[in-house]
Chains A and B, each alone.
Chain A
């Protein structure tokens, strides 16, 4: 036991660490069927969006004889107004949506954690300033602001769009992180760390933030869902240049081409909606299980 901690890890042991962590993760997850279902859904959509396009040929040629077909063996989800395969578009349309959503959530979470903890820990004038800015951002009507920003800046790249979404979203999370850190920094173990002179970096990243892991992860997931909706929303409204393929663009065209009004085209408009809904549902149900997974009480007890 003692030697196990001491010895320089071999390659096998190095691999064993993450392997154990993964097994542990799945064990804890398996206790929460809803969370497990969500996790499977997330894995499925990640594979669909990032791996499947590597194996499936992209079909972009209009075929006038196949317009608005109902599902069949050749077109499992039917065809669109140009006779293109809908399933193919679903497969190729996920990557951008998910990348932007995750990137935007990352941007907003990093902003919220950094400035939320700075405000809470340093306090004083810095706290007041950060809070004032946050409150202003918090009161801005997000969607209207998003429309305005998108209309003015015309984000051409999806990374740019992600950053804009992230910059709009951070405010409520920042307030919550600040409140949490304010209460956590009064804990006895933080006081002990102060009197042991462990330094601010240690206190924030080793003592305070780890106890907020589940909290942050859950918020990250909800930020992802928010970013996804917002993004589909502005793409749907045609506020970003329409190019490439993603689920939002599918909706944009489906609506624009009146797919709503034909019985046979219902699969065309429903498919992206269903895809978006299922991703959101998976994320939210996975989030519900995170509380358990991060709880140290449930770890390592097997």
Chain B
């Protein structure tokens, strides 16, 4: 299977007054059609930057972004426009992602007119009605003349998703798209996104800091765990949740609270050596996780940056120790 969209060792550095920081460091990720995957990680780990790199809104400072096998940043004109439309971003904050001065109809019809999907107001209204139904805003005629401030957070997020759908995207990157809506409507939004993946073959990347959300959303897909700009583990959701290979993933999984307090209490917590997240301005050498890692080995982890390597069990992991233990001693001696 060839990937629909692929990040190939993509990096992105930002210049800040305090010095350059590498928000995303050589992240590779390949996504197929209709895949629903999740990127998780704590704040500042570069997951949002990765999302913006995926949508082509941010130019990578290293590596390539491939869409249908072509390097997006080398394409021009019509090809680039096609890519832009094919990959859409749904923002975290539904209060900021809709223009307050435009009605739902205006917001949704503008791309339809622009891309010749509608030539008359009759066609536009029919298409907008269809879109609103698809995102479960029914009855649609109640919503077309509304301004964003007249909608609830969940409804706005649905409008934002509908707006992304106006251009028939192949990939939707949902950046914390459910984090700012009420918990009670999260599931329905997640189901809506999953339905898009299933019925229309849209590839969906959900970026979240909430592993519980990730576990639900990507239950038939993969989860990528990011830490300080690097992908530390990329695995099938079931495998990751039941048996995380990277110590950082293990710590995250162990920290998910369970509904049953007995289970929570009986869980073995992963003891980190430090709760401090290193500053992006002065990253530790070697594996960036080693100052906190319970498995850290002096002379190995603090010297050599681990590569993201495939190991048995449908997963890739960037950890010297985990790779050695799971593949036998053979792989690790390369140091």
Of B91-99, B223-231, B260-268, B289-297, the segment with at least 4 beta carbons within 8 Å of chain A is B91-99
CB-CB under 8 A from A213, the residues of chain B are 101
Contact pick for A195, options B55, B100, B145, CB 8 Å: B55
| A147-B199 Cα distance, complex, nearest whole Å | 72
User: Within residues 145 to 192 of chain B, which ones have a CB less than 8 A from any CB in chain A?
Assistant: 145, 147, 149, 160, 163-164, 166-167
CB-CB under 8 A from B106, the residues of chain A are 206
Chain B's closest residue to A196 (CB) is B111
Are B98 and A297 in contact, with the CB atoms below 8 A?
no
A195/B99 contact (C-beta < 8 A), A1-B141, A2-B141, A202-B110 known: no
Contact pick for A2, options B85, B91, B125, B160, CB 8 Å: B125
CB-CB under 8 A from B166, the residues of chain A are 196
A188/B97 contact (C-beta < 8 A), A198-B111, A210-B102 known: yes
| A5-B124 Cα distance, complex, nearest whole Å | 11
Contact pick for A296, options B55, B110, B149, B167, CB 8 Å: B149
Are B99 and A189 in contact, with the CB atoms below 8 A?
yes
Are B81 and A197 in contact, with the CB atoms below 8 A?
yes
Are B125 and A296 in contact, with the CB atoms below 8 A?
no
| A193-B106 Cα distance, complex, nearest whole Å | 12
Does A192 count as interface, using CB distance less than 8 angstroms?
Answer: yes
Are A6 and B111 in contact, with the CB atoms below 8 A?
no
Of B114-122, B212-220, B269-277, the segment with at least 4 beta carbons within 8 Å of chain A is B114-122
Query: Using an 8 Å CB-CB cutoff, how does the interface string of B77-91 with A read, 1 for contact, 0 for none?
Result: 000010011011101
Give B144 Cβ to nearest chain A Cβ, in Å: 7
Are A211 and B100 in contact, with the CB atoms below 8 A?
yes
Does B57 count as interface, using CB distance less than 8 angstroms?
Answer: yes
Chain B's closest residue to A207 (CB) is B99
Does A291 count as interface, using CB distance less than 8 angstroms?
Answer: no
Give B26 Cβ to nearest chain A Cβ, in Å: 25
Q: Which of B89, B101, B147 has the most CB of A within 10 A?
A: B101
A197/B93 contact (C-beta < 8 A), A2-B125, A296-B147, A297-B149 known: no
User: Chain B interface (Cβ within 8 Å of chain A)?
Assistant: 55-57, 81, 84-85, 87-89, 91, 93, 96-102, 105-106, 110-111, 114-115, 121-122, 125, 129, 141, 144-145, 147, 149, 160, 163-164, 166-167
Question: Can you list 25 residue pairs at the A/B interface with Cβ under 8 Å?
Answer: A5-B144, A188-B93, A189-B97, A189-B98, A189-B99, A191-B89, A192-B97, A192-B160, A194-B57, A194-B84, A195-B56, A195-B87, A195-B88, A195-B89, A196-B84, A196-B163, A197-B84, A197-B85, A202-B114, A206-B110, A210-B99, A296-B147, A296-B149, A297-B147, A297-B149
